[in-house]
Structure 1
């Protein structure tokens, strides 16, 4: 799994770069699509035209790589939910904390900078 950046700017370039990955993840809001994805994840990725790197990130659940490849947290979270993962879990991945540590930091007012 890749190392998270300090922050992610999801600008127009990232949006274009991540279009296929975001379209796939966004499609998971539909129950039939979730069933199809769960049945054959690789085929579902292929049907959505992911790059080889995006396909690998999805199949490996490499959350950091998904964002590096233009994925938006708002879309990739739909895949996380399919895997019974929480936003606190993803926050922990991106901050190199456990989900519990991340939740505790958020409850105490968030990470302090500087």
Structure 2
């Protein structure tokens, strides 16, 4: 390995996976702080009362605000969101972790749940984006 940047760049070659690196942590700092703020009941109440107004109180990009409002968890991960911090959003919405994660796949929740109960996704399939293998 020539340097740490080459090593970290290899994570971007894993299909369907976003590895939470230090760079993603820096990128998503304000997004993750917003999500962790939902641990407080009064913040959850304010968020549910007027999501857009509540988001405007945070130093978030318009892209992040739009992704939160759309509950586009894949976009939030791309913006540096940490799945464990983002789970505070699904909790606020009253949905389970598994149900929220199913929205990040091409499956509905019952199909996703069944797949996971059967042992999860097969390790067979595309393993590298750039090598198309």
TM-score (ref. length: structure 1) = 0.89
- What residue number does 2:57 align with? 47
Residue 92 (str. 1) matches residue 92 (str. 2): no
Count of residues paired in the alignment: 110
Q: Unaligned stretches of 5+ in structure 2?
A: 1-14, 125-133
- 25-34 vs 96-105, greater mean Cα deviation: 96-105
Greater mean alpha carbon deviation, residues 97-106 or residues 9-18: 97-106
* Runs of 4+ off more than 4 Å: none
Superposed CA RMSD: 1.2
Worse overlay, 82-91 or 64-73: 82-91
Q: Give the unaligned 5+ runs of structure 1.
A: none
- TM-score, length-normalised on structure 2? 0.77
Is residue 109 from structure 1 mapped to residue 119 from structure 2 by the alignment? yes
* CA-CA distance at 1:91 after TM superposition: 2.4
Cα deviation for residue 109 of structure 1 reads 1.1
Deviation at 1:95, TM superposition (A): 2.2
Q: Within the alignment, does 1:36 sit opposite 2:46 as a pair?
A: yes
Instruction: Single out whichever of 21-30 and 91-100 deviates more from structure 2.
Output: 91-100
Q: Alpha-carbon deviation of 1:103?
A: 1.1
